[in-house]
Homo-oligomer: A and B are copies of this chain.
Amino acid sequence: MALKVGLTSLKFENGVNIKSVSSVAGTKEGEGPLKEYIDILVNDNLYGQKTWEKAETEFVKKAVETAAQKAALSLNNIDYILAGDLQNQSAASCFGVKDFKRPFFGLFGACSTFGEGLSLGAVLIDSGCGKNVMCEASSHFSAAEAQFRFPPELGNQRPQTSTWTVTGAGAAVLSDEGSEPKITGITTGKIVDLGITDANNMGAAMAPAAADVLLNHFKDFSAAPESYDRIFTGDLGSVGSKLLIELLREKGYDIQKQHRDCGMLIYDSDKQDTHAGGSGCACSAITFSMIYKRLLTGEYNKILFMPTGALMNPSSVAQGESILGICHIVMIERQV
């Protein structure tokens, strides 16, 4: 039974079991520091398809299938699939999960989607609405660049504040039984608008939302940075991470020791020329494979996983709207 904690959090007293976690990624991710944690590394970012969009669909399919296999479950035993991505009208998710014929809730939280999925998935399991829920999120560098900025073939120069959209997908099966690491609470983010309008500086747009939800979380749970082994933001990158640390410091919290950003972990920015780091729904969703593994082995006992999202589209930017930020916190413990 979920317990309302403070103003924006829920506590799951028995914890919601994370039965399995999967990740499928592209070439650049396979050359990065997290390669050993990724289940399937694809050596062709088109994944045998004719378009980047269809390739992303394949990443989605493979991530969902792999998570089900690792949980030793048939897809028929999945009560709900919750998924989302960055393509217009969440096309990668819709086409990616259609053949599984499971009850489907489509989500849109930009790059925070995996956090949103784990949050709502935990509610569905905790409340007895399902025994097994699949949460999935994906992104594709080339599909995202063409849609949000410029086709990669154009060879536009990328500013140092820009991030590199991760190609791939990550999934997790939440379950009402098992002894794996558990989701023990969530803090749901509000949209924060600080007036950032540079689509090449998403980190700055998202950092205030991450700061806001983290402060709410500390308050709701009477917690502090020291309560956690690690605090993982989704894809703030180096620019946004610095800003987050500063914003928290102003409020009296020093998170530097615990804080890591999935966008700064997934690539070696200096060697891989990814500037401020990785981004995209798949950035946190794929890095989650490493986090989960380290929870399983006991390297971490209690962490916060907080995927960050930048809410915008090219028309909203062209019409002078700012880029909105959102971030959802998922609290995960090795043992409950």
> Interface range on chain A: under 10, 10 to 19, 20 to 34, or 35 or more?
35 or more
Closest partner residue, chain B, to A116 (CB atom): B105
CA distance A4 to B128 in the complex (A): 8
Q: Are B319 and A102 in contact (CB under 8 A)?
A: no
Is A203 interfacial (CB-CB < 8 Å)?
no
CA distance A147 to B260 in the complex (A): 38
Known: A1-B128, A4-B128, A129-B4. A315 touches B91 (CB 8 A): yes
Q: Are B53 and A315 in contact (CB under 8 A)?
A: yes
Which of chain B's residues have a CB closer than 8 A to the CB of A43?
none
CA distance A106 to B93 in the complex (A): 15
A266 to chain B, nearest CB (A): 22
Q: Are A105 and B120 in contact (CB under 8 A)?
A: yes
Q: Are A98 and B191 in contact (CB under 8 A)?
A: yes
Q: Are B95 and A324 in contact (CB under 8 A)?
A: yes
Contact for A84 among B3, B80, B108, CB less than 8 A: B108
Of residues 277 to 336 in A, which have CB atoms within 8 Å of B's CB atoms? 311-316, 319, 321, 324, 326
Of residues 91 to 105 in A, which have CB atoms within 8 Å of B's CB atoms? 91, 94-95, 97-98, 101-105
Contact for A191 among B79, B88, B94, B324, CB less than 8 A: B94
Is A188 interfacial (CB-CB < 8 Å)?
yes
Counting from the closest, the 9 A-B pairs by CB-CB distance are A127-B127, A103-B188, A98-B191, A94-B311, A106-B108, A89-B313, A88-B313, A88-B88, A108-B108
